């Protein structure tokens, strides 16, 4: 997934410089162990510095500068006037829109201090939303009590925050007021640097998650960013010594750092939240991290916290836990976001065939080009065609890494030469990366997989307690299943079944749930047997 990190104005630019430094360091370190991964990571992230003042971008490479409104401002800045900045953005609207169109996720960084950031951050977020992008606005509210700005500009900054609220765009709001400590005075530059660091580290963690949709379910992201309210990024560092297993104290401290970030405006309980764990340690440590974070979140309200867990295995030090918490502001319909699946280039059969032919027969290219594709396929004896994938899992993994042969097969209606085992599919459905793979499969493939699941799984029709009511699983529709999963405590035997039904409903549509056959549970252990089969759905 292409990510655009776009700063606006001087303050936003300073934060982006910190983020960029960390990111480049990450890419360099990753490149030493996995050059291909580092290259893809680097290619997925673009940094751009938008400003009205050319001089403030003197240290930025030319191709990363976005000077707006040169006719309005003559490249001399917005004269501390947000209105001038807004006019400048209007003047350069088409260029900025074209830049946004090339990316799926847009992280906007701006401060509400003077002109450019205060005047352009909200219009930029609106532009991104109009293009159905996933937008993460990061807004810094300046301090007038500490004389960073005067009260008039502070009030304008509040209006910007109000615009985000009323437009239903979730945003991160950072309070510069919180960067002052009368008991330990520091220079202004040091204070800003100290505040930029956690933002940059938090964003770094998010980049590692967001650039690869196999790490996170797009529909979960649509739900996470839906509605109004604020977001909070947290990062807690954890560097275990040898053996590489963090101690309980390290876990506790990292989770505390991640949860307690004093710089953010965040006044409601945490609702849906993205939790990303980075580190090469055991799943026991992961479980401790999740458990401690949930304990913090549920100390505020034990019903609303809905974590989405992801893991990035190849991110370099510093390791730890990054989280994006969202304020719970009610239940909102998921955002309509263009995830760009249709942009995945269709498999070019001609090219594939040519490559195979060139390897096997050193014939001149010109002669190949003159041969029709059908004729080429006919000339390939079927028994000589290599069996590309031995199992469905192997095939799914290949689709996930955009393997051309796998993509060709994924778009094909013909039956595969390997069997599609229902239990394999159900294990895969418990992973997040596989859910994005399903989106790339042809209608026939999707039907084939669903059939495999349906024939494999007879769901024990457990009674689910919802408040004072008891309802059988087969009486719940998709929306009710989602609510039950999110808001009610379910027994260990029932939760994986609900997770499976919700996942199938999400990927194949609510009608697919009705196709499941439900069986009466014979005894209490039946659920446990199914649970063993569905262990992938256990969080």
Q: Enumerate binding residues for other proteins (CB under 8 A).
A: 144-147, 150-152, 154-155, 158, 161, 173, 175, 230, 265-267
Region of residue 442 (left: phi > 0; alpha: psi -120 to 50; beta: else): beta
CB 112 within 8 A of CB 118: yes
Helix, strand or coil, per DSSP, at residue 175 = strand
- Minimum distance from residue 168 beta carbon to other proteins (Å): 16
DSSP string, 473-529: GGG--HHHHHHHHHHS---TTTHHHHHHHHHHHHHH-GGGGGGSEEE---SHHHHHH
> Looking at beta carbons only, is 151 or 241 nearer to other proteins?
151
> Cα–Cα distances in Å, from 338 out to 18, 101, 103?
29, 10, 10
> Looking at beta carbons only, is 83 or 95 nearer to other proteins?
83
> Looking at beta carbons only, is 86 or 230 nearer to other proteins?
230
> Looking at beta carbons only, is 149 or 501 nearer to other proteins?
149
- Minimum distance from residue 152 beta carbon to other proteins (Å): 6
Q: How many CA atoms lie within 13 A of 449 on its CB side?
A: 26
Cα-Cα-Cα-Cα dihedral sign, residues 123, 129, 135, 136: positive
- Minimum distance from residue 230 beta carbon to other proteins (Å): 7
> Looking at beta carbons only, is 258 or 534 nearer to other proteins?
258
Cα-Cα-Cα-Cα dihedral sign, residues 356, 359, 360, 366: positive
- Minimum distance from residue 145 beta carbon to other proteins (Å): 4
- Minimum distance from residue 158 beta carbon to other proteins (Å): 5
- Minimum distance from residue 200 beta carbon to other proteins (Å): 22
- Minimum distance from residue 250 beta carbon to other proteins (Å): 28
Helix, strand or coil, per DSSP, at residue 258 = helix
- Minimum distance from residue 507 beta carbon to other proteins (Å): 37
> Looking at beta carbons only, is 230 or 290 nearer to other proteins?
230
Cα-Cα-Cα-Cα dihedral sign, residues 286, 289, 291, 294: negative
- Minimum distance from residue 155 beta carbon to other proteins (Å): 5
> Looking at beta carbons only, is 181 or 313 nearer to other proteins?
181
- Minimum distance from residue 175 beta carbon to other proteins (Å): 8
Q: How many residues does the chain have?
A: 539
> Looking at beta carbons only, is 154 or 392 nearer to other proteins?
154
> Looking at beta carbons only, is 265 or 533 nearer to other proteins?
265
> Looking at beta carbons only, is 175 or 371 nearer to other proteins?
175
Which residue pairs from 213-217 have beta carbons closer than 8 angstroms and sit at least 24 positions apart in sequence?
213/1, 213/339, 213/433, 213/436, 214/400, 214/432, 214/433, 214/436, 214/437, 215/276, 215/310, 215/311, 215/312, 215/432, 215/433, 216/274, 216/308, 216/310, 216/432, 217/308, 217/432, 217/435, 217/436
The encoded tokens of residue 537 equal 């759905």
The encoded tokens of residue 194 equal 């100290």
Bridging pattern class, strands 306-312 and 320-327: unpaired
Reduced 3-state DSSP string for 177-226:
HHHCCCCCCCCHHHHHHHHHHHHHHHHHHHHHHHCCCCCCCHHHHHHHCC
> Looking at beta carbons only, is 152 or 343 nearer to other proteins?
152
d(CA 149, CA 143): 6
- Closest by CA to 343, choosing from 127, 129, 107, 103, is 103
CB 460 within 8 A of CB 440: no
> Looking at beta carbons only, is 127 or 161 nearer to other proteins?
161
> Looking at beta carbons only, is 150 or 394 nearer to other proteins?
150
- Minimum distance from residue 138 beta carbon to other proteins (Å): 16
Q: Which residues have C-beta within 8 Å of that of residue 42, sequence separation ≥ 6?
A: 27
CB 244 within 8 A of CB 187: no
- Minimum distance from residue 232 beta carbon to other proteins (Å): 10
Q: Which residues have C-beta within 8 Å of that of residue 27, sequence separation ≥ 6?
A: 38, 41, 42
- Minimum distance from residue 165 beta carbon to other proteins (Å): 10
């Amino acid at each position: 997934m292409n990510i655009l990190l776009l700063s606006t104005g001087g303050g936003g630019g300073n934060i982006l410089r910190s983020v960029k430094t960390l990111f480049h360091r990450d890419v360099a370190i990753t490149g030493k162990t996995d050059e291909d991964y580092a290259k893809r990571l680097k290619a997925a992230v673009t940094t751009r510095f938008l400003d009205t003042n050319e001089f403030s971008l003197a240290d930025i490479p030319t191709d990363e500068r976005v000077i707006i409104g040169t006719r309005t401002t003559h490249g001399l800045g917005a004269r501390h006037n947000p209105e001038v900045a807004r006019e400048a953005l209007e003047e350069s609207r088409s260029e900025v829109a074209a830049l946004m169109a090339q990316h799926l996720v847009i992280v906007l960084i701006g401060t509400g201090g003077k002109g450019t950031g205060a005047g352009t951050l909200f219009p930029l977020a609106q532009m991104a939303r109009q293009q159905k992008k996933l937008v993460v606005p990061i807004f810094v509210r300046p301090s007038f009590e500490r004389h960073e700005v005067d009260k008039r500009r502070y009030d304008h900054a509040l209006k910007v925050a109000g615009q985000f609220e009323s437009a239903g765009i979730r945003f991160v709001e950072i309070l510069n007021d919180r960067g002052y400590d009368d008991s330990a005075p520091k220079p202004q530059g040091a204070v800003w640097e100290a505040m930029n660091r956690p933002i940059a580290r938090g964003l770094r963690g998010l980049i590692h998650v967001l650039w690869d949709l196999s790490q996170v379910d797009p529909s979960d992201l649509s739900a996470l960013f839906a509605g109004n309210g604020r977001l909070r990024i947290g990062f807690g560092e954890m560097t275990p010594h040898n053996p590489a297993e963090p101690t309980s104290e390290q876990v506790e401290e990292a989770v505390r750092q991640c949860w307690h970030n004093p710089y953010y405006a965040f006044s409601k309980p945490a609702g849906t939240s993205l939790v990303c764990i980075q580190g090469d340690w055991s799943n026991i440590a992961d479980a401790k991290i999740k458990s401690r974070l949930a304990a913090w979140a549920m100390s505020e309200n034990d019903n609303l916290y809905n974590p989405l867990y992801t893991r990035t295995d190849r991110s370099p030090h510093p390791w730890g836990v990054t989280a994006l918490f969202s304020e719970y502001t009610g239940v909102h319909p998921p955002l309509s976001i263009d995830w760009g699946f249709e942009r995945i280039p269709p498999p070019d059969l001609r090219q594939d065939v040519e490559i195979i032919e060139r390897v096997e027969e050193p014939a001149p290219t010109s002669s190949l080009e003159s041969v029709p594709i059908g004729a080429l396929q006919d000339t390939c004896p079927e028994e000589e065609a290599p069996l590309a994938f031995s199992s469905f899992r192997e095939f799914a993994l290949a689709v996930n890494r955009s393997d051309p042969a796998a993509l060709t097969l994924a778009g094909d209606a013909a039956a595969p030469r390997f069997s599609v085992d229902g239990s394999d599919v159900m294990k895969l459905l418990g992973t997040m990366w596989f859910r994005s793979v399903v989106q790339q499969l042809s209608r026939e493939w999707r039907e084939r997989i669903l059939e495999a699941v349906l024939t494999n799984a007879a769901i024990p029709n457990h009674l689910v307690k919802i408040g004072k009511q008891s309802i059988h699983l087969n009486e719940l529709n998709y929306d009710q299943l989602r609510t039950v999963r999110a808001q009610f405590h379910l027994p260990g035997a029932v939760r994986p079944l609900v997770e499976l039904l919700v996942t199938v409903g999400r990927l194949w549509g609510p009608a697919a749930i009705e196709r499941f056959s439900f069986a009466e549970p014979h005894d209490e252990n039946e659920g446990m047997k199914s649970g063993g089969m569905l262990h992938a759905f256990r969080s």
